[in-house]
Structure 1
């Protein structure tokens, strides 16, 4: 997703002051040629906006809200629901927590505190979409933004989602507009206004039955994915054998 080069230059002039473009690029970790190409094409990526914003120690959400297509982003911040927080806990961490609780129940010891893996995890986009619903969210999203359902599915399978799709998904689901940007890895949780340790707190407060049900859903989805991969691999192998 991009913003207009003109709008970007106006924003940059306002936030960078007399700092040279070369200095801005160095601080943001962006090649000068990359920014130059984007400006020539008339479109600057939102990733560039975020990188420059961070280098200037400005809130990324506030910076994005300076652009027309994101103008409601900052006022649309909302704390994630418990389901959203759990969706951003990896399968491995979820299973480890269940095993730790089971072990503690057997031994009478306290459940060991689990240090969670960072966001995003390998299926964070899909689990976030599943968490926010509604059931036809993907269909509504495809219609609203004009993307082919198979292309949307491909992004989700690859654990990717453009900023436009993530924000549009949040609007449809009625959740915080920046929450999907956390699931995609575009924003860090604190940049979206998530409280420190919110995932860990929610995990500790979630009943065993809920965690087990969630883990079962995750494993079922993983099983279907693995079956597709195995079938594709077998088909490709058979094709090579027939050709050979």
Structure 2
């Protein structure tokens, strides 16, 4: 049985899930944050499962598109990079990432056209070493070490939230140009400030002016400005000069 592929978001792979209700709750958590690709590995109570449908509520479309697989290799065979979620330290030598770091890496991989999957273990004991061995990296949530148990839907929710947050998909009141400013944009900004500072007598004494200008140029280039930042800096300077001229 095949699904639509991982596409522009990771596949959420539930390995040997035990209760249909937990699968449904995981589907709700996924759809809350824009994930809709679920794969199931040997669900204990079979598939489809009426308990999952009842718990999924408005997220039934995630279950409708979910695919069931007999084993983990079949579920992730088309994937290029696999994360395994586990709360415990393991003997296996693999990169260990926080959810934030992992989802930033997932975003990078997906943007490069790679297919990504994230594994979640069964409710009672989590992923086994044999499962984790098939992953490229481990995601560990910094929970209380004296009580590190998370239920399946909670685990999915944490990762799905971080995926959404990393993508900047939240709608802001003001849409800004967050692309990095081009070299020419930064150059024009530097020239604007340099000319106005020259008029104000900032570069004094004249013998130190060249060095002061180099320091300012270096400052602009290392700020990591976006296109919107550049426009704001231009606007602030124009407003200051307008107030001065009108005063």
**What TM-score do you get using the length of structure 2 for normalisation?**
0.24
User: Comparing both structures, which one devotes a greater share of its residues to strand?
Assistant: 2
**What TM-score do you get using the length of structure 1 for normalisation?**
0.24
